[in-house]
Structure 1
């Protein structure tokens, strides 16, 4: 079972941001990305919001780094770790623009992109950019089809849909990968169906452990009915973690303890059919975070596939 991390600093919603992140910046992101690579993390991930309305700013903050710029910056200081948009709100942009940005990122990084996509939820953001908020689900369905074409091998991709129509327009450089993995984010019935029928992977959003088995069963049922035999990467977001015994209050939901105890707890995800977990660590600063990441990679990760 692989493991990855949503980077701190680049998005600072009060739901998950630690206090130290407010004063952090590019140097911190670089060191965290390099630590992720050294510690065997499969991917580093970056969120996507263009503009946050005042009504949501207190909870969401307005700190949301651009995912393409951020991941490209970190691609230049790493060599293996994959680069995940978790998730790109692709309905905010024309698919040819999205394809141009992410194809370039994949090309420059030597084929390390995983394109995670989602429907989005901030109406004012869609309105300001002239995008369709009310029909964002159906638009996303078509966006996935259009992006499959635009990120494929053809220099002159072609797509004819209800919202987007293009042909005879060349885009180079092409992605380094023959097929860019496209993971679908979301846990609503529509998102689960979209992941099952259109995705290469599923990125659940906030599903607790007890909900995941039913969601995974639904995905498998939908794919079987549709006759889809290709593999699908099932993801999960773990509870907050702290490797060892913390000397401070990390919150009652945080999983703490010896490495083998944490590995045993996390193996429950594998047993449900999860292929990759996204982990997040409680920490009071960059040094504590990188220490936690290093300990996880060295002491917890080897036990994820044991038993």
Structure 2
């Protein structure tokens, strides 16, 4: 699941999140940890321009700081940046930060990356917005080297060039998973050719099979034979019968019925689903997390 509170776009944030606290984030992450969730995720935006603030809000926690904070209060759940806009920073800076997170969390990092879409934040930090796709492509290659086993990584590219510069601590994982976010043709191709996983962004169920087939076709044509983790973001969920209006798109009902609906994602070739629960408070959310882990997840297979 993507964590609430840490990003508050009007598209998905619940009203109670505006007053959410660090203590609430701790309880939510611990609930996900106890319930057997695969990961908790945090978003990345440096600054939101005034023209986008009414829709996006300006509350966007730094993902590295947020995930490091939660690493210290959880034991098993993995820590995903969904997604880090790596083109805003030099790959050696990104590698130093996330290698440290992997080290401190004893190997729980998943590095989700994306191209970004807000021109003003690129301009503010001196990053190239027009070429952000090409920048991301090379940044992934550079990060592969910088997050690998070598203390002195080597990368010679068009945009980034480094050798003879040591970085420790190294990641605990021999290969940090890099999941590529986005559903545009360029993002799907990038995930197919360079990613260990794909994080679609907003694809409805009916579009996913075509997108997944395209991903595998491009990957095969590129000669990449390593497995790829395919993700999906589900419809909003509510375990049980809600006593309030959860919206017409929200899946709700008995655990077995929810599980039957969610198993359709597996039939499409999806390996992991990212879920979001409708809630009116932190307590209702943690109750939903617990109910999902205890009553729905066992039916998912």
Q: 2:123: which partner in 1?
A: 127
For each residue in 1:15-50, what CA deviation from the matched residue of structure 2 results, as whole angstroms up to 9, or x when unmatched?
000000000110000000000000000000000001
Q: 1:149: which partner in 2?
A: 145
Separation in structure 1 between the aligned mates of residue 220 and residue 114 of structure 2, nearest angstrom: 23
From 220, 224, 229, the counterpart of 1:228: 224
SS in 1 for 2:82: strand
Question: Map of 1:200-279 to 2, 5 A cutoff?
Answer: 200-279=196-275
Separation in structure 1 between the aligned mates of residue 292 and residue 45 of structure 2, nearest angstrom: 30
What's the CA shift for 1:228?
1.5
From 272, 278, 281, the counterpart of 1:282: 278
What's the CA shift for 1:185?
0.1
TM-score (norm 1): 0.98
Structure 2 residue runs of 5 or longer lacking an equivalent are none
Separation in structure 2 between the aligned mates of residue 223 and residue 71 of structure 1, nearest angstrom: 30
Separation in structure 2 between the aligned mates of residue 242 and residue 81 of structure 1, nearest angstrom: 22
Separation in structure 2 between the aligned mates of residue 254 and residue 55 of structure 1, nearest angstrom: 30
**Is 1:45 the counterpart of 2:41 in the alignment?**
yes
For each residue in 1:61-112, what CA deviation from the matched residue of structure 2 results, as whole angstroms up to 9, or x when unmatched?
1100000100000000011100000000000000000000000000000000
- Runs of 4+ off more than 3 Å: none
Separation in structure 1 between the aligned mates of residue 58 and residue 261 of structure 2, nearest angstrom: 35
Q: 1:97: which partner in 2?
A: 93
What's the CA shift for 1:227?
1.9
Q: 2:298: which partner in 1?
A: 302
For each residue in 1:184-205, what CA deviation from the matched residue of structure 2 results, as whole angstroms up to 9, or x when unmatched?
0000000000000000000000
What's the CA shift for 1:295?
0.4
SS in 1 for 2:51: helix
From 181, 187, 191, the counterpart of 2:183: 187
TM-score (norm 2): 1.00
For each residue in 1:168-221, what CA deviation from the matched residue of structure 2 results, as whole angstroms up to 9, or x when unmatched?
111000001000000000000000000000000000000000000000000111
From 163, 170, 173, the counterpart of 2:169: 173
Separation in structure 1 between the aligned mates of residue 208 and residue 250 of structure 2, nearest angstrom: 19
Separation in structure 2 between the aligned mates of residue 136 and residue 225 of structure 1, nearest angstrom: 24
**Aligned-residue CA RMSD (Å):** 0.4
What's the CA shift for 1:116?
0.1
Separation in structure 1 between the aligned mates of residue 129 and residue 155 of structure 2, nearest angstrom: 22
Q: 1:54: which partner in 2?
A: 50
SS in 1 for 2:248: coil
For each residue in 1:138-173, what CA deviation from the matched residue of structure 2 results, as whole angstroms up to 9, or x when unmatched?
000000000000000011111111111111111000
Q: 1:199: which partner in 2?
A: 195
